[in-house]
C-alpha cells in the first residue's frame, strides 16, 4: 500500500505544497530572511527524501506537474508589468537602460567566468540565466542544453543574496534613488529580491517587479545569440 502511494504523482504534489505552506507559516512567525518559503520547502523536501529513502524519480512524478505550470507562470509576469504601467511610463528610459545593463552584466560576467574556469557548456548554460525568475531561467537553460537542477540552485542563491544584501549594497554604494534601488534588486535577484525591495519602499517594490519581467525578456533575447 505504501509503495503504491509513493509511486504516484500525489507524493510530489503533497510534499511540495505542504512544505511550502510550512515555509510561509515559518516566515510569518519568525520574520527571518532565510525562512523564505522556497528555501524551507527545498530543504525539507531533500531531508524527507533522504530520511525516508524515497527515490527522486518517485518524487519527480508530482514535481514535474508543478514544473509544467512554470510555462503559464511565465506569461503571468506580463500582468505584473501591466499593473505597474503607470510607473513604467513615468520611468521608461531608466527602466529600459537599467534592465539592459543589469541583464547584460549578469549574462556576460557569468559567461566570462565560466570560460575563465573552463566549465563545460552544460554548466555554463545552466548558470547564465541565474538572475532571471525561475520560470524563465529553467526554460532558457533547458532550451540551450543546460542542467536545470544547477539552474534552479543558482536562481535560489541569487534570490537569497538579494534578500540579504540589497539594503547593504544600497548603503555601501550610496544609492539613494528608489528607482535605482528597485531596478537593481529586481534585475539581480528576481522575485526573492523583490520581496525585500517591497520592504524598502513602495516605489522600490514596483520597480523591482517591473525589472523581473523586463529583464526576463531581455535575457531571453540575449541568449538567443550565444
pLDDT digits (tens, 9 = 90+) for 193-221: 887 888 888 888 888 888 888 898 899 99
Range of the domain at 80: 73-223
What pLDDT, on the 0 to 100 scale, is given for residue 201? 84
Is residue 120 domain-shared with residue 151, that is, in the same domain? Answer: yes
pLDDT of 106 strictly over 70: yes
Q: How confident is the model at residue 117 (pLDDT cuts 50, 70, 90)?
A: very high
pLDDT of 225 strictly over 90: no
Is residue 153 domain-shared with residue 136, that is, in the same domain? Answer: yes
Cell of 198: 517591497
Spatial contact of 151 and 126, defined as CB atoms under 8 Å apart = yes
Is residue 134 domain-shared with residue 99, that is, in the same domain? Answer: yes
Is residue 58 domain-shared with residue 131, that is, in the same domain? Answer: no
What pLDDT, on the 0 to 100 scale, is given for residue 61? 80
First to last CA, the chain: 50
Cell of 155: 536562481
What pLDDT, on the 0 to 100 scale, is given for residue 167? 84
Domain count within the chain: 2
Is residue 131 domain-shared with residue 184, that is, in the same domain? Answer: yes
Mark which of 17, 34, 68 sits at the end of a domain.
Answer: 68
What is the average pLDDT across 25-36? 81
For 134-151, the pLDDT digits (tens) are 888 988 998 899 998 899
Is residue 29 domain-shared with residue 132, that is, in the same domain? Answer: no
The H-assigned helical ranges of 69-177 are 70-83, 85-90, 92-116, 121-127, 134-143, 148-172
Mark which of 68, 95, 117 sits at the end of a domain.
Answer: 68
Amino acid at each position: 500500500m505504501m509503495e503504491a502511494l509513493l509511486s504516484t504523482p500525489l507524493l510530489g504534489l503533497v510534499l511540495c505544497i505542504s512544505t511550502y505552506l510550512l515555509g510561509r507559516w515559518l516566515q510569518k512567525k519568525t520574520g527571518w530572511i532565510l525562512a523564505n518559503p522556497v528555501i524551507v520547502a527545498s530543504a525539507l523536501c531533500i531531508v524527507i527524501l533522504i530520511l525516508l529513502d524515497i527515490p527522486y524519480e518517485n518524487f519527480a512524478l508530482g514535481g514535474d506537474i508543478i514544473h509544467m505550470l512554470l510555462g503559464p507562470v511565465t506569461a503571468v509576469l506580463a500582468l505584473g508589468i501591466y499593473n505597474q504601467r503607470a510607473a513604467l511610463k513615468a520611468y521608461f528610459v531608466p527602466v529600459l537602460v537599467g534592465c539592459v545593463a543589469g541583464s547584460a552584466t549578469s549574462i556576460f560576467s557569468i559567461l566570462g567566468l565560466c570560460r575563465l574556469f573552463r566549465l563545460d557548456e552544460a554548466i555554463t548554460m545552466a548558470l547564465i540565466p541565474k538572475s532571471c525568475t525561475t520560470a524563465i531561467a529553467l526554460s532558457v537553460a533547458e532550451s540551450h542544453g543546460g542542467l536545470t537542477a544547477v539552474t534552479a540552485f543558482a536562481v535560489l542563491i541569487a534570490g537569497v543574496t538579494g534578500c540579504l544584501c540589497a539594503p547593504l549594497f544600497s548603503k555601501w554604494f550610496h544609492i539613494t534613488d528608489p528607482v535605482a534601488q528597485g531596478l537593481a534588486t529586481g534585475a539581480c535577484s528576481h522575485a526573492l529580491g523583490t520581496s525585500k525591495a517591497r520592504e524598502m519602499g513602495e516605489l522600490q517594490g514596483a520597480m523591482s517587479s517591473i525589472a523581473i519581467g523586463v529583464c526576463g525578456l531581455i535575457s531571453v533575447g540575449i541568449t538567443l545569440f550565444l
